Amino acid sequence: MVLIAPSLLASDFSKLKEEVMAIDKAGADMIHLDIMDGHFVPNLTFGASIVRAIRPYTKLPFDVHLMVQNPSEMIRPFYEAGADIITVHTESVRHLDGILSEIKNTGLKAGVALNPATNEDVLKYVLDKTDLVLVMSVNPGFGGQSFIPSSIDKIARIKKMIGNRSVLLEVDGGINPLTAAECVAAGADVLVAGTAVFKGGNYAENIKALRV
């Protein structure tokens, strides 16, 4: 069964503790944390101190997605804050193999994120150091965007590249019950969903609707 990772970007920031506990109770599999620096993407979210503050309220894995210009500088702070997975954008990294090693050396799982216009060939020589590949199915920086249809073929191609490796294939952006089904059919293992989980307040039903 596909794993659902609610994105806290779509939650009520005035009550993060309660939101974290609610999506845990509702059946989420992990919690997706979008870290934006206002430079790599045109938005600013939160840092390691917020992640540390909410860590005691769930045992779910923290899936930290670094949309930042200098991800290497943030590995240690998010490791110390309680991250379980740290994902970096290949577009922001000069030495992808090296930063994946940095993450792995902390004992955390390492992920690689690809923007919609980024060719999946960049993964070719680092898949053996990668625990998760994140396909962005919208342009990063803002929630609530529409799914980019060409992402489906990209997911299928990356799934083929992964082969029998123990690498999770995650999709982020524009996920709803319809696009969720398409992504899973193409090979997705994890779906990141913000609006689709938090809208209306019935988190359990919303998560259930995304499982296919």
pLDDT in tens, 78-114: 999 999 999 999 999 999 999 999 999 999 999 999 9
CB 166 within 8 Å of CB 131: yes
Report the alpha-carbon distance of residue 87 to residue 99 in Å, rounded: 10
User: Which residues sit opposite 37 in a β-bridge?
Assistant: 44
CB 131 within 8 Å of CB 108: no
Report the alpha-carbon distance of residue 123 to residue 82 in Å, rounded: 26
Q: Running DSSP on this structure, what letter comes out for residue 74? A: G
Q: Which residues touch 179 (CB under 8 Å, ≥6 apart)? A: 137, 147
Q: Which of 37, 131, 172, 189 is catalytic?
A: 172
**Region 3-210: CATH code:** 3.20.20.70
Alpha helices in 11-124 (DSSP H): 16-25, 48-54, 75-81, 96-105
The pLDDT of residue 159:
98
The pLDDT of residue 167:
98
Report the alpha-carbon distance of residue 189 to residue 210 in Å, rounded: 12
The pLDDT of residue 141:
78
> Among residues of the chain, what percentage have pLDDT more than 70?
100
pLDDT in tens, 150-201: 999 999 999 999 999 999 999 999 999 999 999 999 999 999 999 999 999 9
For the cut 80, the answer to whether the pLDDT of residue 142 exceeds it is no
For the cut 80, the answer to whether the pLDDT of residue 143 exceeds it is no
Band (pLDDT 50/70/90 cuts) for residue 72 is: very high
Q: Which of 29, 34, 37, 131 is catalytic?
A: 34
The pLDDT of residue 25:
98
User: Which residues sit opposite 132 in a β-bridge?
Assistant: 111, 168
User: Which residues sit opposite 6 in a β-bridge?
Assistant: 193
**Tokens for 212?**
């296919």
The pLDDT of residue 60:
98
Q: Give the largest CA-CA distance in the chain.
A: 43
Specify the amino acid at residue 79. Answer: Y
Report the alpha-carbon distance of residue 151 to residue 201 in Å, rounded: 28
* Residue 172 designated active-site: yes
Collapsed DSSP state (helix, strand, coil) of residue 6: strand
Q: What is the pTM of this model?
A: 0.95
Band (pLDDT 50/70/90 cuts) for residue 42 is: confident
User: Which residues sit opposite 113 in a β-bridge?
Assistant: 89, 134
Q: Residues 58-77: what's their mean pLDDT?
A: 97
Mean pLDDT computed over every residue of the chain? 96
The pLDDT of residue 121:
97
CB atoms within 10 A of CB 75: 21
Q: Is the dihedral of CA 184, 186, 191, 195 positive or negative?
A: negative
In whole angstroms, how far apart are CA 48 and each of 65, 80, 168? 12, 8, 24
Q: Running DSSP on this structure, what letter comes out for residue 44? A: B
